[in-house]
A and B are shown apart, each in its own frame.
Chain A
Amino acid sequence: MPYFTANAQPTVELAPAAAAEVKTTTCYMCACRCGIKVHLQKGQVCYIEGNPEHPVNRGVLCAKGASGLMQHYSPARLSKPLLRVGPRGSGEFREIEWDEALGLAQDWLGAIRRRNPRELAFFTGRDQSQSFTGWWAQQFGTLNYAAHGGFCSVNMAAAGLYSIGGSFWEFGEPDWPHTRLFLLFGVAEDHASNPLKIGLGQLKARPGTRFVSINPVQTGYSAIADEWIGIRPGTDGLLVAALIHALLAAERIDWVYLARYTNAAWLVIDDPGAADDGLIARDAAGLPLCFDRLTQTLTPAGAAGLEPLLMGAVSLADERRAYPAFHHFAQRFLDPACAPAAVSERCGVPVATIERLAAELAEVAFEQTITVEVPWTDSAGRPHAGFVGRPVSMHAMRGISAHANGFETCRLIHALQMLLGSVDVPGGFRYKPPYPRPIPPAGSPAEPAAAGAPLTRPPLGFPRGPEYLLNDAAGNPLRLDKAFSWEYPLALHGMLQSVIHNAWQGDPYPIDTLFLYMANMGWNSSLNISQTLHYLTDRRADGEYRIPRIIYADAYYSETVPYADLILPDTTYLERWDGISLLDRPISDPDGAADAIRQPVVTPDRDVRPFQDVLLALGAQLGLPGMTLADGTARFPGGYAQYLTEHTRGNEQGPLAGWRGAQGEQSFRGPANPTQLQRYIDNGCFWRTELAPAQRYYRYANPAYLDYAVAAGFIGSAQPIVLELYSEILQKFQLAGRGHGTHQPPTHLRARVCENFDPLPRWQTAAQEPAPDYPLHAITQRPMHMYHSWGSQNAWLRQITARNALYVASTLGAELGLTDTDWVWIISPIGRVKAPVKLMHGLNHHTVWTWNAIGKRSGAWALAPDAPEASAGFVLNHLIAELLPPRADGYRYANADPVTGQAAWFDLRVRLEKCSATETHAASPCFEPLPARQPAPRARRDAAMLRGAPTGNHTAAHREYLGGSQQKPAKEQP
């Protein structure tokens, strides 16, 4: 009678059996690329956890990564190749076999390649195999290739690579263990998000550190910052310029560092009107000169024992005048226009705060100097007892880069770092291998090739001057997206955001096929969605689509799928091989180089193929060099896995750096190793090699590292990399704009080039300046638990956020008479969007914001047509113009940074109007729902477990699902 006598405590099964099988691989819910362990039971994925051994995440996971299995089992997965049968956008498709799909693609692309390879525009979005897709485009022979970086954060990359030879983004990070003061500009999440969170956690746990977040919105990381500076969007450059001003005025800068490691002392020719005005004075050997005050001579910069002049005029050998670069720098920033009092109002940061921050930077950099006691010798031969560190670190992302002035703002931040001597020093910002690289890295953009021939280089590269741009004889862009043209000369990552518009317009030329991979251009990754959809569906007079053919490779039923003609369905990330390569966007950390793979942990239950395999097969069918053997058969019949092990470039380098050589005994270089992938798998699907302690800092001038980097193939020579406070390359563009040199912009672009190319960083107004009708800034933030459009198909993640609100500062809400129950129209010059209001305190008064990519088009992603994402959620993309207002002659530039082509998502200006009582509370604009698709066959988990089988005996059901016995086993106690 247990129920009427003293009851025993129920027993609990404390040690249920672990999964039958656990496989390691790499997460793909975002570009952080954490190591995961996937638990499998009866061939089903049942649990995913972080891999504690993995260098990126060290066992932790984010909300997305931990929901990976719901991503994998999404009902929105595509299941078969599709050929459009209805008009574009109708979503009417016929399922076809892979042979037919590849045959069609071969027909379309083969004709293009024979005719004019540039008629293929191949653009990839969240691609993690860019070194491969770029290589494919190179073999095909089209210039028109890029991944998504152009609308993402190219400003960060370009500003960094053209000033410090590395960059923020995921290519560098603060020296977490040593930093004492950390400034974070405009980051909600970032790519290397788990390392960032791990690092912030360390900072918080270490007394005596300060973390300052500069961001219009106080959420996420800003919530735990010791100080939040609610800056006005687009004005960080002013704040940084004022910090520089204050530090200069107080003489609190690292003179020695500037002289040794930057080009501050390089002499700049001062000869207004001359073709070399503003260029660096060099000796006969081309070495930059400085003026040594000890010997009172002009001497090549960089040698030890010099006392280079930093200010004042110098006479060059030819009697012309020159000034050290720093002279110009000081002149610019000591100008009263850069004083805190001059910028305070515009950026919304009190003078006292700016002054205090400057004082704090100086105090921590110069009074709390730390030393990592490892002897080293610098490139000039000076021995050092240790690495001296200025423990001030900075990091920045899209809050800086997604403005049209982002390139300059980011350069300003790097200038501040150089001034404080905190680049790659203990406690400062640190590069992740293969960075630092020469400024800029080697390799210029490929030039067009003859029809049927491959490009001689990868399509994307780093122009070192006007002569490397891709313009035709008349100065018109050679690339469809106009990257590397006079309009966007340093568009290093291409301009995916312009491709659809330009293809529609036939500007600079019409194309035949638009080939997209993993980019949801029909919705959240487009500026001006309705216009984009119009471009995709618009027809010529003869009834042909203006963009004749669209091929798209997606894994899910995204908003873009219905707009393509041919769909190549991809697998999920758990079903394919992948290489996370040092040739690409590496996963290294400051202390070591690393790369990784993805292995298929389950086999697809649908008729889908890994896109990389498809590209290789298509390449072979097209007879592309590198993908075909002499006898015309496929070079990589084993698909991407075979490519990963066997493909080599340059000097025995391949996609994977680990376990090269016949026995797997070599790193970085070496012959292919047939067992390489297995070695990766045995090691948890990653490889990492640690730098020696003496190789970890001052790497731009640390021969111990530079020699290693040459051997590893990161860089071509062990020459020290001199950080550029002053950019001669940008001055070359300036000079071309002024009418010098062999390569000059067409007349109508001269002023634009002169205006936007400056050897020294400076703050510029963003493209869209305050218009009285649109007084508010409107920005977005990434939710930490959602990845762009993907998250909403995830049954768990959408429970966290299935709709979004417009956050309005409570002070502004009071002014406008808004409360939390109101809905407003958000109005920009190109449209209006309806949104519910949520007031908050921690928000810049002039700014409204919302979560990015929560709003969905009804019918997409296998969600019910009345899902909140579609019925109440919204995206701001409807309001962001893809083009700037017309110039006097009617020409319209892209809404982008004029140097790098970075899309200016965050320059959006709006006003709010309260919805009237009669306006229903539902999303607007409202698009035709996409036709619902038969959801992919659901995995068993989905059918039986997701809804929780109402058996009343869930333990047994659960057990059955897990593959254990049907019987509930006897419970045990420890």
Chain B
Amino acid sequence: MQPAYSVIFFTTAAGAGYGLLFILVLNATAVAIPLRPVLLLSGLTLAGLLVTAGLLSSTLHLGHPERAWRAFSQWRSSWLSREGVLAVVVYPVALGWAWLVWSATGRSLTFNLLSLLLALLAALTVYATGQIYASLKAVPAWHRASVPTNYLLLALMSGAQLMHALQLGLSPRPAASAALVPASIALAALGKAWYWWRIDRAPPPSTLGSATGLGAFGTVSVLTQPHTEENYLQREMGFVLARKHAWKLRVLAALGMFVVPLLAYLAGGLSCTVLGALAMAVGLFIERWLFFAQAKHRVMLFYGGLP
């Protein structure tokens, strides 16, 4: 699939934003951790910025961004619509939550419920994003349960990294939630490794023979394409990435997402953590690019592509 930069930015930035939001609000409900409005509000702002920038960017790849609002209508069946609705719902809830934080009502039941709701919404939004892809049967590399899991784990990981950086920025004392960094990295790395391992070993979904139904008569090969120049389908779905490049990029993505941030975490200190966050951003970007570039669309079977 053709990697679209606006979508890559959207999913990574918004993922990190929702991840941060998730950790932030859960952090706020944790009895053991003192409530720190400065941290909460600045975290919320950062998450809001990331999510908003991501959402705006996502409209860039629309043919008609001005009609984006229409996307809220089909939540009953469309994951993209659900994602949109959830993303929108997050805003008022987050604002309400922020108001509670600001008005220092403490850990009231309302506050706690709202926090849990917000965490749930953040997680659901990310899940919905993952489901947009996972629901596409036509793209075998996406049509798997590990896709939303990955989206969730990577969001959690990037959120944890941001949270850690934020805490360090606001006070040099390491917070209890810092332990989330290595834990989420480990989980995300496991998840991603699992995903890569699985897609590499997935049997080819279909062949030109099965797609055309002509396989029953022999081995099918392409004689002429319908049009001699590339068309939309070939540009959009026909993106191919050579295996050797994929491997290099995977290594780079893993270094960026997991290894460098982990080392930075071990090294400790704000600047290292920021550096780790930047590396993670780059890694995530590559990961997301690969997520597209390595996914093959079944329609390319008709053009002689795929397995």
Contact = CB atoms under 8 A, between A and B. Distances in A.
Asked if chains A and B are in direct contact (CB within 8 A), the reply is: yes
Contacts of A219: 223
A800 B228 CA distance: 6
B228 A803 contact: yes
Contacts of B64: 952
Taking chain B's interface residues, is the majority helix, strand, or loop, or is none over half, making it mixed?
Answer: loop
A4 B228 contact: no
Given A219-B223, A840-B223, A952-B64, A868 B228 contact: yes
Contacts of B45: none
A800 B226 contact: yes
A29 to B, nearest CB: 19
Given A799-B229, A802-B229, A3 B223 contact: no
A308 B221 CA distance: 58
Nearest to B71: A3
A71 to B, nearest CB: 18
Contacts of A801: 227-228
Contacts of B229: 799, 802-803, 868
A802 B227 CA distance: 8
Nearest to A1: B73
Contacts, number: 27
Contacts of B73: 2-4, 7
A635 to B, nearest CB: 50
Contacts of B221: 841
Interface range on chain B: under 10, 10 to 19, 20 to 34, or 35 or more?
10 to 19
Interface in A790-838: 799-803, 838
Interface string A1-41: 01110010000000000000000000000000000000000
A879 B250 CA distance: 51
Nearest to B221: A841
A668 B229 CA distance: 50
Interface in A835-863: 838, 840-841
Given A3-B70, A3-B73, A4-B73, A800 B223 contact: no
Nearest to A840: B223
Contacts of A4: 72-73
Nearest to A802: B228
Contacts of B226: 800
Contacts of B227: 799-801
Contacts of A952: 64
A844 to B, nearest CB: 15
A781 B73 CA distance: 53
Contacts of B74: 7
Contacts of B70: 3
Interface in B58-78: 64, 70, 72-74
Q: Chain A interface mostly helix, strand, loop or mixed?
A: loop
A624 to B, nearest CB: 48
Nearest to A4: B73
Nearest to B69: A3
Contacts of A799: 227, 229
B51 to A, nearest CB: 23
Nearest to B74: A7
A868 B221 CA distance: 24
B304 to A, nearest CB: 10
A3 B228 contact: no
Residue from B70, B73, B221, B228 with most neighbouring chain A CB atoms (10 Å): B228
A840 B220 CA distance: 11
Contacts of A841: 221
A971 to B, nearest CB: 18
A840 B226 CA distance: 16
Contacts of B72: 3-4
Contacts of A3: 70, 72-73
A219 B223 CA distance: 9
Contacts of A868: 228-229
A800 B221 CA distance: 19
Interface in A942-958: 952
Interface in B189-229: 221, 223-224, 226-229
Interface string B218-256: 000101101111000000000000000000000000000
Interface string A470-508: 000000000000000000000000000000000000000
Contacts of B223: 219, 838, 840
A841 B228 CA distance: 20
Nearest to A219: B223
Nearest to B229: A802
A778 B223 CA distance: 19
A458 B229 CA distance: 48
Interface string A935-974: 0000000000000000010000000000000000000000
Nearest to A6: B76
A607 B132 CA distance: 58
A773 B15 CA distance: 67
Nearest to B67: A952
A838 B222 CA distance: 10
Nearest to B223: A840
B9 to A, nearest CB: 25
Nearest to A803: B228
A802 B229 CA distance: 7
Nearest to B226: A800
Residue from the set B64, B73, B226 with the largest chain A CB neighbour count within 10 Å: B73
Nearest to A800: B227
Contacts of A840: 223
A794 to B, nearest CB: 14
Nearest to B218: A841
A2 B73 CA distance: 8
Which of A7, A219, A800, A868 has most B Cβ within 10 Å? Answer: A800
21 contacts: A3-B70, A3-B72, A3-B73, A4-B72, A4-B73, A7-B73, A7-B74, A219-B223, A799-B229, A800-B226, A800-B227, A800-B228, A801-B227, A801-B228, A802-B229, A803-B229, A838-B223, A838-B224, A840-B223, A868-B228, A952-B64
Interface of B: 64, 70, 72-74, 221, 223-224, 226-229
- Closest CB pairs A-B (n = 5): A3-B73, A802-B228, A803-B228, A799-B227, A801-B228
Interface of A: 2-4, 7, 219, 799-803, 838, 840-841, 868, 952
Given A3-B70, A4-B72, 8 more contacts: A2-B73, A4-B73, A7-B74, A800-B226, A802-B229, A838-B224, A868-B229, A952-B64
